[in-house]
Structure formats: structure tokens, C-alpha cells
Chain A
Amino acid sequence: MGECPICAARVDVAGDAIAGELLVCADCGAELELIATAPVELAEAPTAEEDWGQ
């Protein structure tokens, strides 16, 4: 279980989840990235950005 960094809702995190997984907050709809699992740390997932390459 984690806390949404946007609206503070409780967010279910599966026991076998791994860092980097994307989740969606059921309350505010924010797309969240699982940063760490022990303890659970969630951050708003970065939105798609243009890749200018080299």
C-alpha cells in the first residue's frame, strides 16, 4: 500500500510489484511510477517528452 503523491489516496501496490512499474491512482487518475518497494515510494510518472536524439 502506498500514498498517492498528488491526492494522498491509498494506492494498492501488489506484493510482487517491482520498481519502475506504472500504476494509476483510482481517486485522481494520476499515473504513478513505483520508485521503490520497501518501503513503497510512488512518484508521478513523467509525461512523454520529445526525444531529440543526438
Chain B
Amino acid sequence: MIRVSIVGGSGYTGGDLLRILLFHPQVEIHQVTSERHAGRPVSSVHPNLRKVCQHKFVAADELEPCDVLFLGLPHGQMMHRLSEFENLAGMLIDLSADFRLRDASAYQVWYGKAHACPDRLGSFVYGIAELHREQLQTATRIAGAGCNATATILALHPLYQAGLVDSAVVEVKAGSSQGGNTESPGSHHPERSGAVRSYKPTAHRHLGEIQQELGAGNIHFSATSIEMVRGILATCHVFLNQDLDEKEVWKLYRGAYGDEPFIRIVKERSGIHRYPEPKILAGSNYCDIGFERDPHSNRLVVISALDNLVKGAAGQAVQAFNIARGFDETTALEFPGLHP
């Protein structure tokens, strides 16, 4: 059994990590930290884990050595405490943004400050299995990708890899759980409920990792909060540099993702679920991707959907963990979502 501890386990991502790892046949949860809730039962914060998780939160200074640390700390903390955590575990899986970017100057651009240990940026493998499976097999430092970035990168990677993109504009519709479990004036129910709010029309921080992973500067990104708790729907307007018919797009995506366990191409000819939608993906590790070619222009619309807390965070991290430890990649991640 692999002894796993979760640092920063009281957040939504920490809760989903626990929900998944508690049913992982090769994992024993050792400790779960929370400074605010130390001493209280984990299930007092994550009520869905009543009778499933008997752990109590501990403070970070009570952490004991283990095999793997999953880190769900707020952005900007991990890079200051890297050596502390490296002394506790041989494998670190960081779900914050601190080690996603490989280039220190890019970190400065997107996060507005200098990185605390720029020499270590290259030592983390970016955690999207579909792009970095081979590197993950030997990785001991993994950086979980941003949720919006994951939806965008998975939607567009086959097209960028094939050199087919002139430019792309991505509009993401995001659920409220992206904002974490700390309240703000914007999350106050009378303000948030029913809102369709452009919260980042330009300069979203995830664009840095999107550009890095797609190798592209010709991509633009906007994000809108909508009435949804879990989920992301990314609508990607791709302007192609050559003519492609739908059959060729099918072949491209089938070639890229046909063998991927958690990517489904969703483009039905009939019915009410013709394109990806996040509702049926809640709690699952799937990313659904569909597309439609505009018959009147060179635009290809690629649509992707996922659960931001699972494929966009905790599930993706467990998938990377499974690969790095040599387990079946789908272990503990088979839940298919709910319908309706």
C-alpha cells in the first residue's frame, strides 16, 4: 500500500481527492491537513464522506513522512515550502499553479511576481496524462494543470500538433466551485445566483500554461461565470489555416484520442446530447470533446466539457499518480457521472 497524505485537504479539491483516494485499492490515507480545521473530523467539512472517512484534520507541522504528498495549498505557498515537503515524501503532486510553468519569466508575466525557486520549475512534469504520459511514468514531481487550461488544451491539442491553426479564441463557461470554498462579496448568494458574469475577458492566468502546452501564441481566452457549481464548458473558435472537412476532423481526433481512457468524442447526429456538456460529467474524470465545421468560413468550433474538480484537478492528479506508480491509469476513477 502507498501511504498518501493530503496537504490542504479542507478545500473542494482536497475533498474530491479524498473521495477518490479512499476507494483506491493501493492507497492508504495517512494524514489530511488543514490549519483552520485541525482536530476536527474531515467529515465535518466534507459531509459526503461521513462513514467513509474517519480521519481528523491535522496541522501541517504534525505531518509525518509518507510515500506521496498531494498538495492542495493556495497558489504561491508551495514554492516557498518545497524543501519542507521534499523532506517528507519521495513524490509530490502539487495542485496549485506554482510549478505549472517551466519558464520563470512567464511566471512573472502571469502571476505578477518572481518565482521563489525558479531553478526548480523544470523539475515538475505537467500533469495532463494525454500529453505527458511517458514523462509521468518516471516522475516524482507532478504539477496538476489548471482546470480551464485542461479543458482548452485537451480540446485543441490535436489541431495545434497537426499545425492546422491560424488562430483560436476560447470562451469558457465556469461553475462557482472554481472560486474555492472561501466566501467573497462575489460569491454571496444574492449576487452569485443567476449571474452570468464576465470575470476574466482577457489575461486569465491559465493562458500562460495553455500557450506553453500548445506551443502557441495565437490563442486568446475569456472566462465567464455561470449558474453552475461544478463544470466547465469550453467553446473554442478555431480559425484553420487549411480547409478540412468534418470527416478529416473526425480522423484527427480519433487518431489523437481513440485509445485515451478518459477522452470521449461527442458529436451525435441526433438526440438531445449532441455535444459535450458538463452536467453529465459531474464527479467523473472524463473530458468530452466535440466539434462542428462552419460551412461558411474557415472556423472550426471545438467544444470540450469536464468537471473542474475532477478531470480539472483531483481526478487528473490521481490519473497522473496512477501512471507514476505503475498502476492501471483508471484505478479509482471509473465513476461515469450521473444522468440526469
| Interface of A toward B, CB cutoff 8 Å | 6-9, 25, 27-31
B residues in contact (CB < 8 Å) with A: 246-247, 250-251, 254, 265, 267-271
- 16 more contacts with CB within 8 A, not counting A7-B267, A31-B270, are A6-B269, A7-B246, A8-B251, A9-B250, A9-B254, A25-B269, A27-B250, A27-B265, A28-B250, A28-B267, A28-B269, A29-B269, A29-B270, A29-B271, A30-B269, A31-B269
Question: Is A6 in contact with B271, judged by CB distance below 8 angstroms?
Answer: no
- The answer to whether A7 and B268 touch across the interface, beta carbons within 8 angstroms, is no
B204 to chain A, nearest CB (A): 32
Which of chain B's residues have a CB closer than 8 A to the CB of A30? 269
Interface of chain B: mostly helix, strand, loop or mixed = mixed
Query: How many A-B contacts if CB must be within 8 Å?
Result: 27
Closest CB of chain B to A47's CB: distance in Å?
9
Closest Cβ of chain B to A22, distance in Å, is 13
Are A8 and B271 neighbours in the complex by a CB distance under 8 Å? no
| Beta-carbon nearest neighbor of B249 in chain A | A7
- Complex-state Cα separation, A6 to B254, whole angstroms: 14
A8-B247 in contact (CB<8A): yes
CB-CB nearest 10 A-B residue pairs: A29-B268, A7-B250, A30-B269, A8-B247, A29-B269, A8-B250, A8-B251, A28-B269, A28-B267, A29-B270
A9 to B247 alpha-carbon distance, docked (Å): 9
Residues of A contacting B254 with CB < 8 Å? 9, 27
Instruction: Note all chain B residues with C-beta closer than 8 A to A25.
Output: 269
On chain B, the residues within 8 Å of A9 by CB distance are: 250, 254
Would B247 and A6 count as touching, CB distance under 8 A?
A: yes
Residues of B close to A6: CB separation below 8 A: 246-247, 269
Nearest-neighbour CB distance to chain B for A46, whole angstroms, equals 13
Complex-state Cα separation, A9 to B258, whole angstroms = 11
| Interchain residue pairs with CB less than 8 A apart (19) | A6-B246, A7-B246, A7-B247, A7-B250, A7-B267, A8-B247, A8-B250, A8-B251, A9-B250, A9-B254, A25-B269, A27-B254, A27-B265, A28-B250, A29-B268, A29-B269, A29-B270, A29-B271, A31-B269
- B267 to chain A: which residues have CB within 8 Å? 7, 28
Q: B314: shortest Cβ distance to chain A, in Å?
A: 29
A53 CA to B260 CA, complexed, in Å: 50
Of B247, B254, B268, most buried by chain A (CB within 10 Å of CB) is B247
Closest approach, in angstroms, between the C-beta of B260 and any C-beta of chain A? 14
